[in-house]
Amino acid sequence: MDVARVEIETDAGRFDGLVAEGSAAVDYANTLRSVRGRYREAYADALTRWQALRDELERSDRAPASAREAGAGDAGRQALRLEVEQLGRDIGVYQATLTKLDVAERSLSRTRLFLERGDASLEAIRTTVAR
C-alpha cells in the first residue's frame, strides 16, 4: 500500500508541475498587455499626427487661389495629400493589428484564469459527466 501511495504522490507532483508550467506559459499575458499598451500609445500618436496633417490639407485646399503660391504651393499640397493618404492606410493596418493584440491578450488572460487551481467552472461539467 505504501508503494501505491508514493506513486500517487509522485503522479500528483508531476501533474502539479505540468499545470504550473502551463500557467507560466500563459503568464505571458502580462507581457502582451504591456506591449499592447505601448502599441496603443503609438497608434494614438499616429492617429493624432494623421488628423493634424488632414486638417492642414483641408485648410490648404480651402485657401483662396491668390493666397497660394503658384506651382510650389501645388507641389507642397500634393506631397501633403500623398502623406495623408499613406498615413491613413497605415493607420488602418495599425488598427487591425491592435485589434488582434486585444483579442490575443484577452484570450491569454482568460486561459490563465481558467488554469488556476480552485477554478470551479469545470465542476458542473464533471458532475454532469459522472452521472
Q: Is the pLDDT higher at 115 or at 10?
A: 115
Predicted confidence (pLDDT) per residue in 60-73, tens digit: 888 776 655 555 67
In a domain? residue 122: no
Provide the number of structural domains found in the chain. Answer: 1
In a domain? residue 84: yes
Q: Is the pLDDT of residue 110 over 90?
A: no
Beta-carbon contacts of 77 under 8 Å, excluding residues fewer than 6 positions away, are 57, 60, 61, 68
In a domain? residue 61: yes
Structural domain span for residue 68? 2-111
Least confident of 29-38, 72-81, 106-115, 118-127: 118-127
In a domain? residue 75: yes
**What DSSP string describes 48-80?**
HHHHHHHHHHHHHHHS-GGGSPTTHHHHHHHHH
Kindly report whether the global pTM for this prediction surpasses the value 0.85: no
